[in-house]
Amino acid sequence: MLPLIKVGLPESNKLMPMLEQVLYSGMLAEGEPVYEFERQFARHFGLDRAVAMSSGTAALHAALVLAGVAAGDEVITTSMTAEPTNVVILQIGAIPVFADVDISSGNLDPADIAQKITKKTRAIVVVHYAGIPVRLAEIAEIAQRHGIPLIEDCAHALGARYNDKGIGCVGDFAIFSFQAIKHMTTIDGGVLTFKDESLLRAAKKFRWFGLEKGIPRTEVDITSVGYKYNMHNVAATIGLAQLDVIDNVISRHQANGHFFDEHISSISGLSVPTFDATALPSYWLYTVFSDDFADIEKRLAEVGVAANKLHRPNHYHSIFKPYAGELPQLEKYYQRMIHVPCGWWVTDDDREKIVDALKRG
Ligand SMILES: Cc1ncc(COP(=O)(O)O)c(C=O)c1O
């Protein structure tokens, strides 16, 4: 079966010598490989800075806290995402306020974000779902007009671009995830980036119990609580190996995505996501809309291709029910959508096969 998602790692003859070197270096915790990964990652994706963390979830937690979100504050967010985006809001004791989505992309609808802003709104979290940039220009304008920090969850969107800049450059904060099945993995890991350089010290303390590295342990003073959210040298080494091959991986996702944009949109009864003209998605997944998603799933299974919805709108979970509200566009989107494989493992033959099967549906 051609899988919907797949773990990608560099060739073993490249990765294993690097791993062997770091594993027996005697330096496993956060050290120079982590700092080198941060420098290279930021340079590669055009970010001002990168603070490496143990996961995308840890980076999101840091982003929310550094944005000033505390217990009782409201955070405008999307339900159409993987659960970590919203579980972390609850972990802080803040209140997720779900805005509705744009039916043609599954991404947050700027107009509904504007409607959901109250005096208690402390941050807006957007998710570039499936690798498609949200309507960032409009959303950033709303956030700025109200003086509310904008956090971009780029977990699905590594390598996407907006206004010819790397994704993650518009919001006040952005996070990336290197969990197993993302464009790039460090097994588990994440990056936090942000515009305000003066937050760098606080971000680094946040990922290490509140301790400041470089000050002797017998003298250092913890003044605010931090977590054990650091990336370690082994994960960073895998990340460094990935950075050498990531452009090829992302371009293949994009080439397959463009192929589907062209060939699926013309099939009667089907439609595909739309996005801003200034956006270049990174197509982590490819989303197809129809009146009968189960038929698509069946047709593709018949030719050995996995397709499914992958995520569950978060407000369907019991823990989010108290915050659910009405999300009519999301309900329609979720009813009509299905994801099909689009990643680096999808060959020219595979993508032809997918389009042919969809034509027969
Ligand atoms: C949209 C989204 N946000 C956040 C995360 C959290 O990332 P991680 O698994 O690295 O903690 C994920 C990944 O699972 C995700 O898909």
> What are 273's two structure tokens?
């996501």
The alpha carbon of 267 and the centre of ligand 1 are apart by a number of angstroms equal to 32
| Shortest-distance atom of ligand 1 to CA 60 | 4
Task: Report the C-alpha gap between 14 and 34 in whole angstroms.
Answer: 19
Directed axis angle between helix 56-66 and helix 84-92, to 10°? Answer: 40
Cα(187) to centroid of ligand 1, in Å?
12
54 CA to middle of ligand 1, Å? Answer: 12
97 phi/psi in degrees, rounded to 5: -115, 110
Encoding tokens for residue 154? 């780029």
User: Nearest-CA neighbor of 9 among 218, 178, 169, 122?
Assistant: 178
- Tell me how many degrees the CA angle 269-272-276 measures, rounded to the nearest 5: 145
d(CA 194, CA 173): 4
Give the pLDDT score at 361. 74
Q: Which of 179, 184, 229 to mutate to test the pocket of ligand 1 (most atoms within 8 A of CB)?
A: 179
Taking CA atoms only, the protein residue closest to ligand 1 atom 9 is 179
Structural tokens at position 317: 């979970």
CA of 181 to the centre of ligand 1 (A): 10
What's the 228 CA to ligand 1 centre distance in angstroms?
18
Q: φ and ψ at 123, to 5 degrees?
A: -160, 155
254 secondary structure, DSSP code: H
* CATH numbers and ranges of domains, the chain: 12-243 (3.40.640.10), 246-359 (3.90.1150.10)
Phi, psi values for residue 118, rounded to 5°: -130, 180
In angstroms, what is the span from residue 341 Cα to ligand 1's centroid?
Answer: 19
Q: Mind listing the pLDDT tens digit for each residue in 84-122?
A: 999 999 999 999 999 999 999 999 999 999 999 999 999
**Dist. CA 281–CA 284, nearest whole Å:** 8
- Nearest ligand 1 atom, CA 57: 11
pLDDT value for 134: 98
Pick out the chain residues at pLDDT < 70.
none
Q: Which residues line ligand 1 (CB under 6 A)?
A: 55-57, 81-82, 84-85, 127, 153, 155-156, 177, 179, 190
Angle between helices 233-243 and 32-44 (to 10 degrees): 30
Quick one: pLDDT at residue 188?
98
Q: Distance from the CA of 60 to the center of ligand 1, in angstroms?
A: 9
Whole-number Å distance between alpha carbons of 343 and 189: 20
**Atom in ligand 1 nearest the alpha carbon of residue 311:** 16
Q: Tens digits of per-residue pLDDT, 213-268?
A: 999 999 999 999 999 999 999 999 999 999 999 999 999 999 999 999 999 999 99
E strand or H helix at 246, and its extent?
A: helix 246-264
Nearest atom of ligand 1 to the alpha carbon of 189: 10
Closest atom of ligand 1 relative to the 59 alpha carbon? 11
- Return d(Cα 285, Cα 257) in angstroms, integer: 8
User: Would you say 177 and 155 are in contact if contact means Cβ atoms under 8 Å apart?
Assistant: yes
Q: Separation of 11 CA from ligand 1 center, angstroms?
A: 25
Nearest protein Cα to ligand 1, atom 14: 82
